[in-house]
Amino acid sequence: MATARVPNTPTPTTRTPNLCSDFDADAGDSVDFQNIPSTCNYQSHNCEITAGTTTWPFTSGPPIYLPPPSTITLKSNLQDGEYNYNVSCCDTDNAQHTVTVGDSMRRTHRHK
């Protein structure tokens, strides 16, 4: 009896990017942001991740208030591509960030 082939689906990985940096990931990965400024206060909502100009890539929000949770998950149905979002507690020159999803995109994209 033949068995059905299952397409290659990457096992979700926990990514650990700096909060104020771009990063690479796969759809469905967890993201555990690092180097969250000590001035971030969840109760006052002074550090938030908000929608950029592309599809919102995360399963929670927008917005997402940091900290907690500092670990969030990318949507499992994201297509390969670049998705941007804004982080209010990064300096203004560094406020918009991009997650590059998928192997084919990473081969052609270099982060700043």
- SS3 letters across the chain: CCCCCCCCCCCCCEECCECCCCEEECCCCEEECECCCCCCCCCCCCCEEEECCCCCCECCCCCEECCCCCEEEECCCCCCEEEEEEECCCCHHHCEEEEEECHHHHHHCCCC
The residues of the chain scoring below 70 in pLDDT are 1-10, 42, 68-70, 93-94, 104-112
- Domain range summary for the chain, segments of one domain joined by +: 22-108
Does the reported pTM lie above 0.85?
no
**What CATH number does domain 22-108 carry, 1.20.1050, 2.60.40, 3.30.379, 1.10.10?**
2.60.40
